[in-house]
Amino acid sequence: MNSDYIDLQDLFRQYLKRWWMILSGFVAGILLAGVYTFQIAIPIYEASSMVYMRGAGETVSFQDLQVGAALTKDYEVIFRSRPILEEVIKNLNLDMTWKQLKGRVELNNQEDTRILRVAIKDADPELASSIVNELVEVGMESVKEIDSKEPYLIEKAVTDWDKVSPSHRKNLMMGALLGIVLVAGAITLNYILNDTIRSVRDVEQVLRLPVFCIVPESTSCSYKNVPQKKTVEW
Protein backbone atom coordinates (compact mmCIF):
# COMPACT_ATOMS: atom_id res chain seq x y z
CA MET A 1 0.00 0.00 0.00
CA ASN A 2 1.07 3.63 -0.34
CA SER A 3 2.59 4.85 2.93
CA ASP A 4 1.56 8.46 2.19
CA TYR A 5 -2.07 7.85 3.08
CA ILE A 6 -4.42 5.19 4.35
CA ASP A 7 -7.21 3.86 2.19
CA LEU A 8 -10.08 3.74 4.67
CA GLN A 9 -12.22 1.62 2.39
CA ASP A 10 -9.45 -0.93 2.02
CA LEU A 11 -8.88 -0.84 5.77
CA PHE A 12 -12.58 -1.45 6.36
CA ARG A 13 -12.38 -4.43 4.01
CA GLN A 14 -9.55 -5.78 6.15
CA TYR A 15 -11.84 -5.54 9.16
CA LEU A 16 -14.57 -7.44 7.33
CA LYS A 17 -12.09 -10.03 6.12
CA ARG A 18 -10.91 -10.64 9.66
CA TRP A 19 -14.29 -10.39 11.37
CA TRP A 20 -13.60 -13.59 13.25
CA MET A 21 -10.57 -11.99 14.93
CA ILE A 22 -12.66 -9.03 16.06
CA LEU A 23 -15.34 -11.40 17.36
CA SER A 24 -12.68 -13.37 19.21
CA GLY A 25 -11.40 -10.17 20.82
CA PHE A 26 -14.97 -9.31 21.85
CA VAL A 27 -15.47 -12.70 23.53
CA ALA A 28 -12.00 -12.73 25.10
CA GLY A 29 -12.55 -9.25 26.53
CA ILE A 30 -15.82 -10.31 28.15
CA LEU A 31 -14.26 -13.47 29.60
CA LEU A 32 -11.24 -11.66 31.05
CA ALA A 33 -13.42 -8.87 32.46
CA GLY A 34 -15.72 -11.50 33.97
CA VAL A 35 -12.82 -13.33 35.63
CA TYR A 36 -11.53 -10.05 37.09
CA THR A 37 -14.97 -8.86 38.23
CA PHE A 38 -16.22 -12.08 39.78
CA GLN A 39 -12.98 -13.69 40.98
CA ILE A 40 -10.32 -11.01 41.58
CA ALA A 41 -11.92 -7.63 42.27
CA ILE A 42 -12.75 -6.91 45.92
CA PRO A 43 -16.37 -5.79 46.41
CA ILE A 44 -16.78 -2.35 47.97
CA TYR A 45 -19.73 -1.33 50.15
CA GLU A 46 -20.97 2.09 51.20
CA ALA A 47 -22.57 3.36 54.38
CA SER A 48 -24.00 6.86 54.79
CA SER A 49 -25.65 9.09 57.34
CA MET A 50 -27.45 12.44 57.08
CA VAL A 51 -27.21 15.34 59.51
CA TYR A 52 -29.41 18.45 59.56
CA MET A 53 -27.57 21.61 60.58
CA ARG A 54 -29.81 23.95 62.60
CA GLY A 55 -27.46 26.87 63.08
CA ALA A 56 -29.08 29.23 60.58
CA GLY A 57 -32.35 29.90 62.38
CA GLU A 58 -35.77 28.37 62.52
CA THR A 59 -37.44 30.29 59.69
CA VAL A 60 -36.93 29.02 56.17
CA SER A 61 -36.17 31.58 53.49
CA PHE A 62 -33.87 31.89 50.52
CA GLN A 63 -31.36 33.86 52.58
CA ASP A 64 -31.69 31.36 55.39
CA LEU A 65 -30.88 28.52 53.01
CA GLN A 66 -27.82 30.39 51.77
CA VAL A 67 -26.56 30.91 55.30
CA GLY A 68 -27.32 27.31 56.15
CA ALA A 69 -25.43 26.04 53.12
CA ALA A 70 -22.45 28.21 54.08
CA LEU A 71 -22.52 26.82 57.62
CA THR A 72 -22.70 23.29 56.25
CA LYS A 73 -19.50 23.97 54.29
CA ASP A 74 -17.88 24.96 57.58
CA TYR A 75 -19.09 21.73 59.14
CA GLU A 76 -17.56 19.76 56.27
CA VAL A 77 -14.18 21.20 57.19
CA ILE A 78 -14.76 20.32 60.85
CA PHE A 79 -15.75 16.73 60.07
CA ARG A 80 -12.52 16.31 58.05
CA SER A 81 -10.27 17.95 60.62
CA ARG A 82 -7.35 16.02 62.10
CA PRO A 83 -8.56 15.97 65.76
CA ILE A 84 -11.97 14.58 64.75
CA LEU A 85 -10.51 11.87 62.55
CA GLU A 86 -7.86 10.91 65.09
CA GLU A 87 -10.53 10.51 67.75
CA VAL A 88 -12.57 8.28 65.41
CA ILE A 89 -9.50 6.14 64.73
CA LYS A 90 -8.75 5.88 68.44
CA ASN A 91 -12.33 4.97 69.40
CA LEU A 92 -12.64 2.28 66.74
CA ASN A 93 -9.00 1.14 66.93
CA LEU A 94 -8.59 1.54 63.17
CA ASP A 95 -5.39 0.52 61.44
CA MET A 96 -4.97 3.67 59.36
CA THR A 97 -3.71 7.24 59.61
CA TRP A 98 -5.96 10.26 59.84
CA LYS A 99 -4.91 11.30 56.32
CA GLN A 100 -5.96 7.92 54.95
CA LEU A 101 -9.33 8.21 56.68
CA LYS A 102 -9.71 11.79 55.44
CA GLY A 103 -9.27 10.61 51.85
CA ARG A 104 -12.10 8.10 52.28
CA VAL A 105 -14.63 10.40 53.93
CA GLU A 106 -17.25 11.69 51.48
CA LEU A 107 -19.21 14.78 52.53
CA ASN A 108 -21.97 16.18 50.35
CA ASN A 109 -24.34 19.07 50.86
CA GLN A 110 -27.46 18.82 48.74
CA GLU A 111 -28.21 22.08 46.95
CA ASP A 112 -30.56 24.51 48.73
CA THR A 113 -30.57 22.44 51.93
CA ARG A 114 -28.84 22.37 55.28
CA ILE A 115 -28.40 18.61 55.12
CA LEU A 116 -24.91 17.13 55.29
CA ARG A 117 -24.44 13.60 53.96
CA VAL A 118 -21.54 11.64 55.42
CA ALA A 119 -20.44 8.48 53.59
CA ILE A 120 -17.63 5.92 53.74
CA LYS A 121 -16.74 3.12 51.30
CA ASP A 122 -15.01 -0.03 52.53
CA ALA A 123 -14.64 -3.71 51.74
CA ASP A 124 -16.31 -4.46 55.10
CA PRO A 125 -19.89 -3.10 55.15
CA GLU A 126 -20.13 -3.33 58.95
CA LEU A 127 -16.89 -1.40 59.42
CA ALA A 128 -18.10 1.26 56.97
CA SER A 129 -21.28 1.87 58.97
CA SER A 130 -19.32 1.92 62.24
CA ILE A 131 -16.92 4.55 60.93
CA VAL A 132 -19.74 6.75 59.64
CA ASN A 133 -21.71 6.61 62.87
CA GLU A 134 -18.63 7.32 64.99
CA LEU A 135 -17.57 10.18 62.73
CA VAL A 136 -21.04 11.74 62.87
CA GLU A 137 -21.20 11.40 66.64
CA VAL A 138 -17.76 12.92 67.23
CA GLY A 139 -18.36 15.61 64.63
CA MET A 140 -21.71 16.65 66.11
CA GLU A 141 -20.17 16.91 69.56
CA SER A 142 -17.50 19.20 68.15
CA VAL A 143 -20.06 21.33 66.29
CA LYS A 144 -22.07 21.82 69.52
CA GLU A 145 -19.10 23.57 71.05
CA ILE A 146 -19.07 26.07 68.16
CA ASP A 147 -22.80 26.51 67.53
CA SER A 148 -25.33 26.66 70.32
CA LYS A 149 -27.90 24.79 68.24
CA GLU A 150 -27.12 21.10 68.13
CA PRO A 151 -27.28 19.42 64.70
CA TYR A 152 -30.07 16.92 64.23
CA LEU A 153 -29.31 13.36 63.14
CA ILE A 154 -31.73 12.55 60.33
CA GLU A 155 -30.50 9.13 59.34
CA LYS A 156 -28.08 6.83 61.09
CA ALA A 157 -25.79 4.64 59.01
CA VAL A 158 -26.79 0.98 58.73
CA THR A 159 -24.97 -1.97 57.27
CA ASP A 160 -25.74 -2.19 53.56
CA TRP A 161 -24.80 -5.48 51.88
CA ASP A 162 -25.46 -4.16 48.37
CA LYS A 163 -22.02 -3.44 46.95
CA VAL A 164 -21.42 -0.23 45.04
CA SER A 165 -18.45 -1.57 43.07
CA PRO A 166 -17.34 -3.26 40.95
CA SER A 167 -20.18 -2.88 38.48
CA HIS A 168 -20.68 -6.15 36.62
CA ARG A 169 -22.34 -4.61 33.58
CA LYS A 170 -19.85 -1.76 33.29
CA ASN A 171 -16.81 -4.03 33.60
CA LEU A 172 -18.13 -6.51 31.05
CA MET A 173 -18.91 -3.74 28.58
CA MET A 174 -15.48 -2.18 29.09
CA GLY A 175 -13.81 -5.57 28.63
CA ALA A 176 -15.68 -6.24 25.39
CA LEU A 177 -14.88 -2.77 24.07
CA LEU A 178 -11.21 -3.09 25.01
CA GLY A 179 -10.99 -6.48 23.28
CA ILE A 180 -12.44 -5.05 20.06
CA VAL A 181 -10.16 -2.00 20.19
CA LEU A 182 -7.02 -4.09 20.72
CA VAL A 183 -7.81 -6.47 17.85
CA ALA A 184 -8.83 -3.64 15.52
CA GLY A 185 -5.64 -1.78 16.48
CA ALA A 186 -3.53 -4.84 15.67
CA ILE A 187 -5.24 -5.21 12.28
CA THR A 188 -4.74 -1.51 11.56
CA LEU A 189 -1.06 -1.64 12.54
CA ASN A 190 -0.47 -4.70 10.38
CA TYR A 191 -2.21 -2.97 7.47
CA ILE A 192 -0.08 0.15 7.82
CA LEU A 193 3.24 -1.68 8.19
CA ASN A 194 2.57 -4.22 5.44
CA ASP A 195 4.05 -2.70 2.25
CA THR A 196 3.72 -5.77 0.03
CA ILE A 197 1.81 -5.49 -3.26
CA ARG A 198 -1.30 -7.60 -3.02
CA SER A 199 -3.70 -6.31 -5.66
CA VAL A 200 -4.03 -4.39 -8.92
CA ARG A 201 -4.87 -1.28 -6.94
CA ASP A 202 -1.58 -1.61 -5.04
CA VAL A 203 0.33 -1.82 -8.35
CA GLU A 204 -1.34 1.32 -9.69
CA GLN A 205 -0.85 3.23 -6.44
CA VAL A 206 2.72 2.22 -5.63
CA LEU A 207 4.31 1.86 -9.09
CA ARG A 208 2.15 4.56 -10.73
CA LEU A 209 1.75 2.29 -13.76
CA PRO A 210 -1.42 1.06 -15.45
CA VAL A 211 -2.18 -2.67 -15.45
CA PHE A 212 -2.84 -4.02 -18.95
CA CYS A 213 -3.59 -7.62 -18.12
CA ILE A 214 -3.69 -10.15 -15.35
CA VAL A 215 -2.29 -13.66 -15.68
CA PRO A 216 -4.25 -15.98 -13.43
CA GLU A 217 -2.39 -18.61 -11.52
CA SER A 218 -2.97 -22.16 -12.81
CA THR A 219 -2.03 -25.23 -10.91
CA SER A 220 -1.56 -27.15 -14.19
CA CYS A 221 1.18 -24.72 -15.20
CA SER A 222 2.94 -24.81 -11.89
CA TYR A 223 6.55 -25.77 -11.90
CA LYS A 224 5.70 -28.47 -9.42
CA ASN A 225 3.79 -30.33 -12.12
CA VAL A 226 6.66 -30.26 -14.65
CA PRO A 227 8.15 -33.76 -15.03
CA GLN A 228 11.60 -33.94 -13.52
CA LYS A 229 14.41 -35.64 -15.42
CA LYS A 230 15.63 -38.79 -13.86
CA THR A 231 19.35 -39.27 -13.46
CA VAL A 232 20.76 -42.67 -14.26
CA GLU A 233 23.54 -43.92 -12.10
CA TRP A 234 26.18 -46.17 -13.70
pLDDT tens-digit map of 114-151: 788 899 999 999 999 999 999 999 988 887 776 656 67
Alpha-carbon distance of 67 to 63, in angstroms, equals 6
The predicted pLDDT at position 5 comes to: 65
Please compute the mean of the pLDDT values over residues 182-195 and round it to a whole number.
87
Is 44 in contact with 122 (CB distance < 8 Å)? yes
The predicted pLDDT at position 69 comes to: 59
Stated pTM of the model = 0.64
Is 76 in contact with 109 (CB distance < 8 Å)? yes
Is 170 in contact with 30 (CB distance < 8 Å)? no
Mean pLDDT of the chain: 80
Q: What angle do CA 72, 76, 82 make, to 5 degrees?
A: 150
The predicted pLDDT at position 2 comes to: 47
Higher pLDDT, 229 or 160: 160
Domain boundaries, the chain: 8-38+167-225, 45-155
Q: Is the pLDDT of residue 201 over 80?
A: no
Is 124 in contact with 73 (CB distance < 8 Å)? no
The predicted pLDDT at position 31 comes to: 94
**CATH of the structural domain 45-155, one choice from 3.30.70.1130, 3.30.1360.120, 2.40.110.20, 3.90.1150.10:** 3.30.70.1130
Per-residue three-class SS string for the chain = CCCCCCCHHHHHHHHHHCHHHHHHHHHHHHHHHHHHHHHHCCCEEEEEEEEECCCCCCCCCHHHHHHHHHHHHHHHHHHCCHHHHHHHHHHHCCCCCHHHHHHHEEEEECCCCCEEEEEEEECCHHHHHHHHHHHHHHHHHHHHHHCCCCCEEEECCCCCCCCCECCHHHHHHHHHHHHHHHHHHHHHHHHHHCCCCCCHHHHHHHCCCCCCCCCCCCHHHCHHHCCCCCCCCC
The predicted pLDDT at position 234 comes to: 47
Q: Is 77 exposed, middle or buried (0-12, 13-18, 19+ CB in 10 A)?
A: exposed
pLDDT band at 7 (very low <50, low <70, confident <90, very high): confident
Please compute the mean of the pLDDT values over residues 20-25 and round it to a whole number.
93
Q: What angle do CA 192, 196, 202 make, to 5 degrees?
A: 85
pLDDT band at 219 (very low <50, low <70, confident <90, very high): low
Q: Is 45 exposed, middle or buried (0-12, 13-18, 19+ CB in 10 A)?
A: buried
